[in-house]
Structure 1
C-alpha cells in the first residue's frame, strides 16, 4: 500500500493534509524519515507520526446502549446521530445495523462491515430482535395468537412474519420479531388499538445488551460475539 493511502486509512488526515505532514518530515518508516506518498508500505513496516505508531483501522463491530433522543441516521436533522456518542477514528465509515426510532432505547450495533450487516438484518437469515414494550392499555387475551399468526400492517401487502409475544405484566410485553419494517413494533401494537409508550431493544440474535453499559456507552464486540451473530445463532 502506498504511504499516502496508508495515512488516509490509519488517521483522520485528508489527502491534502497527509501530503503536508509528509513534506514536513513528521512520518518515519522503520526509523527513516519518508516524505514521498508513493513509498510502498509492506507488512511488518513500522510507521510513526511524530513518534506515535500508526496502524490500519480494520473492520469494527460496536455495541451501543442507545439513549432516547438520538437518530440512527447520518443526515442532518433535529436530533443528533448516535455516531456522535462514539469516540473513534474514521467515524464517517460506520453505519448502524438497522435502525431504532429516535425515542426507542437499547441495543444498536454499529459497524463498517456491510456483509456482516446484511447477515443480521436480512429476514432470510431469521435473526431474532427482542424488544420490551410498555403499553398504554392492557393486552387482549388473544394477543399472543394474533402476533404468532402474523399481522397485516397498514400499507403492506403481506403480513408480518410470526412473532412471539410474552406478557410481563398487563401493560408490558416482550416481543421477538425477525424483521425490521418501518416502525414495525409500534404498528403491530397499534393494530390492536394500543399505543407503545416506551420501547427498548434488549437482544439481537444471540447478543444481549451488556448491562454494564449505561445509556450512551458502547464497547467493541468480542471475536466470538461477531462470529456468533454472523452465523445467525
Structure 2
C-alpha cells in the first residue's frame, strides 16, 4: 500500500494533505523519515505520524472494481495477471472475488474479505440478479427471449436455467439478466440457441450498478448503503 493512502486510511486527512505532510518529513517508517508519498509499505512496517504509531482499524473490506479484459478473478494464476494486481490495499491475499468473471469478460466485480456477505450475493437461494451487456456473432433469433424466459437446458446439465430476462438492443446486441451463476452461463445459454458471445460486460449485481466514474482497472470502496443492499 502507498504510504499516503495508509496515512489517509488511518486518519481524516485527504490524499493531498497526507502527501504534503510526508514530503515535509512528518512521517516515519520503521523509525526512518520517508518523504515519498508513493513509498510502498506492508503490514510488517511501523508507521509513525505526530509521535503516534498508526494502525488500521480492523474490519471487513468491500470494493467495486471495473475489471478490464486479460485479468483473472483469482488470487493467484501462473499464466495471467489477477484482478488483485489492480488493488493498492494491504493483505490482498485475505480478499476474494464475489462472483468471478472470465478472462475476456469486463465489468463489475465485487471484492471482499467478508465470507458471509459474499455468500448472500452468490447463493442461488438469494436469487441475486446479475445483468450483462452482450455482443453476439450472429443476429438474435426472434424466439430467444421467450426461450430464455422459460429456461434453457445447458449442455451437461440436468436442469434448465432459471428464467432469465433478455432485452434486445440491436441485431447482435442484448442485455441479459440472470439469477444464478453457472459456469460460463451466459456464453452457454447463447450457444444452446445456436449463437456465440463475442463480447460480455457485467453492468449490475443486485441493485448495485457499476460506477460510471470508474475506468477499466479502477476501483473504489463500497458505501455503507451499498454493502447493506445485500
TM-score, normalised via structure 2 length? 0.78
Residues 14-58 of structure 1, C-alpha deviations (whole Å, 9 max, x = no match): xxxxxxxxxxx96xxxxxxxxxxxxxxxxxxxxx74344112331
Q: 1:142 aligned to 2:140?
A: no
Q: 1:50 aligned to 2:48?
A: yes
CA distance in 2, matches of 1:83, 1:133: 25
Residue equivalent to 2:125: 124
Q: CA RMSD in A?
A: 1.5
Structure 2: which 5+ runs fail to align?
Answer: 1-9, 11-29, 32-45
Residue equivalent to 1:174: 175
Structure 1: which 5+ runs fail to align?
Answer: 1-9, 11-24, 27-47
SS of residue in 1 equivalent to 2:180: coil
Which of these two proteins has the greater Rg computed from alpha carbons?
A: 1
CA distance in 1, matches of 2:131, 2:191: 18
SS of residue in 2 equivalent to 1:50: strand
CA distance in 2, matches of 1:136, 1:57: 48
Residue equivalent to 1:90: 91
Which ranges of 4 or more aligned residues in structure 1 deviate by more than 6 Å? Answer: none
Residue equivalent to 2:74: 73
CA distance in 1, matches of 2:226, 2:100: 20
CA distance in 1, matches of 2:136, 2:198: 5
Residue equivalent to 2:21: none
CA distance in 2, matches of 1:144, 1:76: 36
Residue equivalent to 2:189: 188
SS of residue in 1 equivalent to 2:177: strand
Which stretch has the larger CA shift, 75-84 or 163-172?
75-84
TM-score, normalised via structure 1 length? 0.77
Residues 146-201 of structure 1, C-alpha deviations (whole Å, 9 max, x = no match): 00000110011111000000000010000000111110000000011111000000
Q: Give the C-alpha shift of residue 219 in structure 1.
A: 0.3
CA distance in 2, matches of 1:131, 1:77: 28
Residue equivalent to 2:204: 203
SS of residue in 1 equivalent to 2:189: helix
Residue equivalent to 1:107: 108
